[in-house]
Structure 1
Amino acid sequence: MRKRVVDGDGDGGFAVLLDRVSKVYGKGDNAVAALDSVTVGFPRGTFTAVMGPSGSGKSTFLHCAAGLDQPTGGSVRLGGVDLSGLRETALTELRRDRIGFVFQAFNLLPSLTVAENITLPLRLAGRRPDRAWVREVTDRVGLTNRLAHRPSELSGGQQQRVAIARALVTKPAVVFGDEPTGALDTSTGRDVLRLLREVVTGTGQTVVMVTHDPVAASYADKVLFLADGRVVGDLIRPTAEQVADRMTHLGAWAEAASC
């Protein structure tokens, strides 16, 4: 019988909790700290955008938070489960069952239909799709009339909707997005952002999105700013103009945070 990862508790309502997480690449004089003792929690049912300049540690942050990369120090807890305490098989199972991913590249299989792409994670896990839930997910992302189509027959925005539906179909605790609107035009990108916003308000799921776009970040409940591998500030329910201004002056904020 397949052993399932069971939620822990005691994380104060956080879907994901990073505690003094560090990530160092290389050794000795060649060592580079991509993350420097980062502590942050993402409450359940919230939408958080993560921003920072190139080299700030955004991608490493996302990979460590999602269990795709192992921190050098500190701990990452998902629903109370300490990821560092899991064997690779259990970690893979947890990522498959409890985490959804939406990337800039849609990563759809061209030979499969929309319906088959959406339910692929369930079939890989040996789970029979819940038809009612699949129908609800496809209705929510506006794909009900496209289920028999192949990815090549869809627009970029529709393909990203398939990717979002695929991320939601396992009812994950957290959906991680890595520049999910980066390959889309402005209008289509805003449709996708509204959909991610609806994921949070409509289903109570947690979304953590890395982005470079202040407009995209303004759809979030909170924007977290990284610089030189450290959290250097945040904004609550920001406008795009506030986010852009903070990014412009991020160097000063980073200096203040290190003092």
Structure 2
Amino acid sequence: MTTPVTTSQEYAVQLDSVAKTYGTGDGAVTALRGVTLRLRRGRFTAVMGPSGSGKSTFLHCAAGLDRPTSGTVRLGDVDLGRLKETALTELRRSRIGFIFQAYNLVPSLSALDNITLPLRFGGQQADRAWLHEVIGRVGLAQHLDRKPSQLSGGQQQRVAIARALITRPEVVFADEPTGALDTRTGAQVLTLLRDLVESIGQTVVMVTHDPVAASHAHSVIFLADGRVVDEVARPTPDLVATRMTTLGDW
């Protein structure tokens, strides 16, 4: 039997031997140590680990927000390390979506203008059909003229999700997207993210410290001391929490 050949079409993000060190000499801190990982398209992946495990650095390198000290990061078939800063900025704007804990909305803009902001930065017009679909999926049709201060935390995060989707990105990176939300609202946001993966094939990579949040993903990758040490498929909150307590023994 022949081994199937994997291609860039299978994977949204690929990391090969990625290391990241901050500083030099005695003050150097190594955040990632030879991380090799393949993230399949159309999947919801959670990334967990204790404080200092390298979660944030992993997200920053995988999303092209920071350059690794060594190793390669690919978005589809593009080696991010070969791009100059201008091209990398354009790639992040057009092919990657971002969702943050703090929403990062522009206070003076309406919900609709916040959603379409990435398109305006790129000098593009909104695809009306896609804009209508995104707004419908996140449940914001009745709130488009409101500014962030007039929206609840959950509604603001839905605006941020719509903004992340508006360019039809290959990957959406979410950094603690429910960290500022109450339990009920956070569950609604996580259910929305999972539905986007299931219904339109969106690829989502989420960094979280919360086992309940991680249980909404298809799989959970665990980091410890800058290394990938385990992966759990079909996670449950109890399974994730138990694995977190034993990461020190990896």
| Structure 1 residue runs of 4 or more that deviate by more than 6 Å after TM superposition | none
Does the residue aligned with 1:148 lie in a helix, a strand or coil?
Answer: coil
Aligned to 1:153: 150
Does the residue aligned with 1:172 lie in a helix, a strand or coil?
Answer: coil
Instruction: Tell me: CA distance 1:28–1:105, structure 2 relative to 1, closer, same or farther (3 Å).
Output: same
C-alpha separation in 1, matches of 2:178 and 2:143: 21
- CA shift for structure 1 position 75: 0.2
Q: Once structures 1 and 2 are overlaid, which stretch shifts more, 219-228 or 146-155?
A: 146-155
Aligned to 1:182: 179
Instruction: Tell me: CA distance 1:203–1:20, structure 2 relative to 1, closer, same or farther (3 Å).
Output: same
Aligned to 2:11: 14
Does the residue aligned with 1:243 lie in a helix, a strand or coil?
Answer: helix
Native 8 Å contact 2:21 2:28 kept in 1: yes
Aligned to 1:48: 45
Structure 2 unaligned segments of length 5 or more: list them. Answer: 1-5
Q: Paired residue for 1:202, among 176, 190, 199? A: 199
TM-score of the aligned structures, taking structure 1 as reference length: 0.93
- CA shift for structure 1 position 12: 5.5
Aligned to 2:215: 218
Native 8 Å contact 2:9 2:76 kept in 1: no
Aligned to 2:3: none
Aligned to 2:60: 63
Residue 109, structure 1, aligned to residue 106, structure 2: yes
Does the residue aligned with 1:144 lie in a helix, a strand or coil?
Answer: coil
TM-score of the aligned structures, taking structure 2 as reference length: 0.97
Residue 82, structure 1, aligned to residue 79, structure 2: yes
Does the residue aligned with 1:135 lie in a helix, a strand or coil?
Answer: helix
Residue 139, structure 1, aligned to residue 136, structure 2: yes
Native 8 Å contact 2:42 2:198 kept in 1: yes
Residue 244, structure 1, aligned to residue 231, structure 2: no
Q: Deviations over 1:97-133 (max 9, x none)?
A: 0000000001111111111000000011000001110
Aligned to 2:22: 25
Q: Paired residue for 1:163, among 153, 160, 179? A: 160
C-alpha separation in 1, matches of 2:7 and 2:233: 25
C-alpha separation in 1, matches of 2:138 and 2:128: 15
Identity %: 68
Q: Deviations over 1:182-207 (max 9, x none)?
A: 00000000000001101111110100
Q: Once structures 1 and 2 are overlaid, which stretch shifts more, 28-37 or 227-236?
A: 28-37
Q: Deviations over 1:49-102 (max 9, x none)?
A: 000000000000000000000000000000110000001110000000000000
The count of corresponding residues between Structure 1 and Structure 2 is 245
Structure 1 unaligned segments of length 5 or more: list them. Answer: 1-8, 254-259
Q: Deviations over 1:148-191 (max 9, x none)?
A: 11111110000000000000000000000000000000000000
